[in-house]
Amino acid sequence: MLESWSPTLFSLAGGLFVVFAAFWAAFAFTDLSSEIVQNAVGPAGWTAAFVGLLGLYPALADQNPRIASAGAVFAVFGLVGGTFATGGNLLLLIGVLSELPAWLAPLQLPLLIGIVFGFLTVGLASLRTSVMPRRVGVLLLIPAAVFVVNIVRVGTLGSTTPIWAPFVLGSGQALALLGIGYSLRAVAFPADSAASSVDSTVG
């Protein structure tokens, strides 16, 4: 059931990152700024993507159970962190909280683990099986790679240096996630069409 929703979930995640990148573009190139919205939209996008990763597990586990299982564990870590981060920032956005509670900060770590190791392991599992086209595996590696680049950038230059970097990196995440959703849908569509053709012939 969850497997059939993976293309939609990745597309949703990509759409949320389009919004995320748009807010960063507004911050970089205009006087507008809405950090609270960005902080809610980004984790929400990752949360949807983690559920999408879990949807890929059954197909990948048939041929590469060890790596697929590791990917599922990392995705669950990310899902937990992403859910708390999204919830906390949404409560902050609507005014229920005046500031994020201190205990929420450590829960960022599972989110980071899920992004880097979840996408990395699921991408590797995809590349080492014949279940999905190679492009799906490559696209699954991109979010982890872009996120690592962003961690290095923030650690060395700061969160908004250069000022356009969050927009560019957010756009990269959006394109990768939308590409995953599109590719998975393209894989599923011929299979569905073939099944329909067989049913029509038999009928």
- Give the per-residue pLDDT at 61: 92
Which parts of the chain have pLDDT scores under 70?
A: 32-33, 188-203
Residue 148's identity, in one-letter code, is V
Alpha helices per DSSP H over the chain: 2-29, 35-61, 65-93, 108-113, 119-127, 134-157, 165-202
Listed residue (193, 201, 143, 184) closest to 4, CA to CA: 184
- Kindly report, residue by residue over 31-57, the tens digit of the pLDDT: 766 777 888 899 999 999 999 999 999
Please give the model's pTM, rounded to 2 decimal places. 0.88
CA-CA distance, 58 to 21, in Å (whole number)?
Answer: 32
- Kindly report, residue by residue over 142-162, the tens digit of the pLDDT: 999 999 999 999 999 988 788
